[in-house]
Each structure stands twice: as C-alpha cells, then as structure tokens.
Amino acid sequence: MNSHFPSVLFQRDALGRAIAQGVHVGIDVHLGNNITVYPAVHIGDRTIVMDGAVLGRIPIASKTTTRPVRSTFFDLTIGPNSIIGCNVILYTGSKVGSDVLIGDLTSIREDCVIGNGVVIGRGVMVLYECIIGSFSRIQDQAHLVGNMVIEEHVFIGMGVVTTNDNDIYRSRFGLVAPRLKGPVIRKFAVVGAGVTILPGVEIGEGSMVAAGAVVTQDVPAWTLVAGVPAKHVKNIPDDWRQQIESMHSIEQC
C-alpha cells in the first residue's frame, strides 16, 4: 500500500465493476463493465455510465508538478438522465447537471460545474474549476483550461484550445508567480473549429470567432472576428440577434 494514496474499500463484481463503499447510485442506473467509482460519488436516477468509466478520481501531485492539489475525496454529483461515455474520467469535487452527455474518453478535472443539458464530445479535456453553463456544446477534442467560464448556450468547435498563463516563459521556472486567468465565453457565443484563445480574453455575448482564429483581445458582443490575430469582420445581423434572444427570453425571466 502507498501512503500517499488513501485506502479505499471497494465492492467488486464479476463484470469488473469496483464501487466504493458509501457511493450513492440512483434508481434505474446502468453501470457498465469495468467501471471504478471512488468514494463520495452520487449518481442520479436513470443515468448511464458506460464501460471503463472512472468516477471520483483524486488528483495526485508528483514532485515536479507546480499546482497544489488536494488528494482527498470530495462530493462528485452527477444529475439524473445523464450519459457518461466509455473511459470517461470524472475527477472528484465536480457537479454535473441533469441530461448531460459526456462523450467517450473525455476527462473532467476536479471542482468543475457542468450545467443541465450540456453536451461534451469525445476526447475533450476540461481542466480544474471550469464552469460550463446549461445547454452549451463542446465539440470533440477541445481543450478547456483551468478556471475558465463558459456561459449558457455557447458552442465550442472541434479542437479549440484555451490558455490561462501568459507568463509561462518565466513562471515555469518559478521566476514569477503564475497569474492564471482563463478565458470567459459569454452566452450564445460560437467559437469555430481550431480557434486558440489567449489567457483572460472575454468572448462577448452572441459573438462568433471564425475557424482557425487566434484571439488575443476581448471580442465585443454580437460581432464576428476572424484571423491571426483575430480582427473585427462585421456585426451579427440584428434580426439574428432578436431571433436568438426571443427563443431564450423565457429562461431569462
């Protein structure tokens, strides 16, 4: 036994499932083959957990990692009617809403908040303390950096890369303290495939970033930007904005 890893008592079965004592499993939940559920996990009614998923994993630091982590089991809550794909890894301390789909091979680090109805594609990396608002969609292989905020009804295209440390040249050697600040993506925004977003940048409400852009500055609401570095191309037509806002006006009340 390793003294750095808390000891966990699992109940194991013939399908290779290892479920820690005290885990809450709702009614009509499907638990696939070879899944591991660590302590303090709560799985909502009718949720499906596919083969090979790991729920409630703790982060463990090596001697050379820089960000301090707590290797302790906190509550991981998964709402009802959600689908957790094959080989998904959900770290401890996160809250996943209802009717959420998380695609195969996606990892979600500790202390994230995922709203209701969110769709996260295949092989997405969501780092620590991210917030993803309800009904947002994250396409395959996007990388969402720690501390970033995505509001409701946002679309993040395939392979989008986000960043949170502009001082990385010196901070990696401890020459300056890291000033980590993830991007903020306001509601209704669309980020096209392959976009890179630099630290702390705010993508305004209802704006669109064209595929392949590198966003170095805040993007004003309801505008389209494109290119490297991203520049203003045009405004989003008023009638598009009105249609989108009226579709969601009930939610805003």
List interacting residues with ligand COA (CB under 6 A). 139, 157-158, 192-193, 210-212, 224, 226-227
Q: Is 178 or 227 the residue whose CB approaches ligand COA more closely?
A: 227
Q: Is 12 or 234 the residue whose CB approaches ligand COA more closely?
A: 234
Closest contact distance (angstroms) between CB of 208 and ligand COA is: 6
Closest contact distance (angstroms) between CB of 11 and ligand COA is: 42
Closest contact distance (angstroms) between CB of 222 and ligand COA is: 14
Closest contact distance (angstroms) between CB of 215 and ligand COA is: 12
Q: Is 172 or 234 the residue whose CB approaches ligand COA more closely?
A: 234
User: What is the per-residue DSSP string for the chain?
Assistant: --TTS----EEE-TT--EEETT-EE-TT-EE-TT-EE-TTEEE-TT-EE-TT-EEEEPP---TT--S----S---EEE-TT-EE-TT-EEETT-EE-SS-EE-TT-EE-TT-EE-TT-EE-TT-EE-TT-EE-TT-EE-TT-EE-TT-EE-TT-EE-TT-EE---TTHHHHTTTSS-------EE-TT-EE-TT-EE-TT-EE-TT-EE-TT-EE-S-B-TTEEEETTTTEEEEEPPHHHHHHHHHHTHHHH-
Q: Is 170 or 231 the residue whose CB approaches ligand COA more closely?
A: 231
Closest contact distance (angstroms) between CB of 236 and ligand COA is: 11
Q: Is 87 or 139 the residue whose CB approaches ligand COA more closely?
A: 139
